[in-house]
Amino acid sequence: MAAPKPTLRQRLNDSDLWLAFKDSPIAVAAAITTVLIFVLAFFAPVFAPQDAFNPAALNLMDGFSHPMERGAGSNMLFLLGSDAQGRDMLSALFYGTRVSLIVGLCSVGFSMVLGISLGLVAGYVGGRVEQLIMRIADIQLSFPGLLIALLIFGVARGLIPPNKHETTALFVIIFAIGLAHWAQYARTVRASAMVERNKDYVQAARLIGIKGLPIMAKHILPNVMGPVLVIATINLALAVIEEATLSFFGVGMPVTQPSLGTLIRFGQQYLMSGEWWILLFPALTIVILGLAINLLGDWLRDAMNPKLR
């Protein structure tokens, strides 16, 4: 007598991944932290005590309040202190993290789409096209993403008229960072594609005249999602850090739409003069965010590695 077919819920519960997750306190902690930061950031208008980047909401008299101090002008409680213009650091953090996360997620999405597409094409078409794409991927992988992102950013700036720089900054950064990281996805997908393209169903499709590529994609993508997810997670941390670095250099997100990196850039000026909180909290946020995402990515990779099971 056969057992009843397990439901989706039961299958998920029984899956190796979930078991490994429950077993690992670090993974759970990292996941909770990440989710918390995401929620706080994306719902910044809801959670933030102050609309931090609206000049009308600020009171100059509140400037340089210490953490846990009340502002001299508006008497608002600044949990993490305020900056030179009376901006609440806590709120600034929420909004800044939101920008950082938007850049991170969008650029990872862009890299993924680009990388997976190129990988599929390379694997399917083969021959010179494949060689070319893979060569470029190899070369790009040995350069720091920062360099490539900077280069693309610079070129984009040269092509965009100066008055549009600020408004297009977000898109340019996403494009630059995204373009710098497609290679790893392409490699993974192409490896799977190479295996699949010789299989019968692809050959059959080709013979009939249907394009084998979409069919092959349908079969490859589920298998390849695991490693792709691991790469994406680690890439997310990298993208957030890269964006922060670019903003820190002054070539990233502008003052009007600051990210955590931009905030750190401001904070640096005040470090020596004693208002340490303007620098410390954005810096801490980046470190915690980066660490949590990296931990998740590391754990995910180990959990998916069949040899370690």
Contact by Cβ (8 Å): 248, 269: no
Shortest distance, position 115 Cβ to another protein, whole Å: 19
Least distance (Å) between residue 119 CB and another protein: 20
Nearest distance from residue 192's CB to another protein, in Å? Answer: 21
CB 268 to another protein: min, Å? 7
Quick one: 291 or 304, whose CB is closer to another protein? 291
We find the least distance from the C-beta atom of residue 190 to another protein, in angstroms, to be 19
Nearer to another protein, 48 or 134 (CB): 134
Q: Which is nearer to another protein, 151 or 229 (CB)?
A: 151
Classify the phi-psi angles of 70: left when phi > 0, otherwise alpha if psi is within -120 to 50, otherwise beta.
Answer: beta
CB of 196 to another protein, least distance (A): 26
Nearer to another protein, 209 or 274 (CB): 274
Matching residue, tokens 């957030």: 240
> Which residue, 124 or 266, is less far from another protein as judged by CB?
266
Q: Which is nearer to another protein, 201 or 249 (CB)?
A: 249
Give the 3-state secondary structure of the chain: CCCCCCCHHHHHHHCHHHHHHHHCHHHHHHHHHHHHHHHHHHCHHHHCCCCCCCHHHCCHHHCCCCCCEECCCCCCEECCCECCCCCEHHHHHHHHHHHHHHHHHHHHHHHHHHHHHHHHHHHHHCHHHHHHHHHHHHHHHCCCHHHHHHHHHHHHHHHCCHHHHHHHHHHHHHHHHHHCCCHHHHHHHHHHHHHHCCCHHHHHHHHHCCCHHHHHHHHHHHHHHHHHHHHHHHHHHHHHHHHHHHHHHCCCCCCCCCCHHHHHHHHHHHHCCCCCHHHHHHHHHHHHHHHHHHHHHHHHHHHHCHHHC
Non-local (6+) Cβ contacts of 106 within 8 A are 174, 178
> 204 vs 284, which CB is nearer to another protein?
284
Cα(133)–Cα(122) distance, rounded to whole angstroms?
A: 7
Residue 154 Cβ, how far from another protein at the closest point, in Å?
4
Q: Which residues bind another protein (CB under 8 A)?
A: 16, 19-20, 23, 139, 142-144, 146-147, 150-151, 153-155, 157-159, 237, 241, 244-245, 248-251, 264, 268, 271-272, 279, 283, 286-287, 290-291, 293-295, 298, 307, 309
Closest CB 153 distance from another protein, rounded Å = 6
Q: Is 35 exposed, middle or buried (0-12, 13-18, 19+ CB in 10 A)?
A: exposed
Nearer residue to another protein within complex by CB, 160 or 194? 160
Q: How far is the CB of 251 from another protein (least distance, A)?
A: 6
Residue 118 or 217 with smaller CB distance to another protein:
118
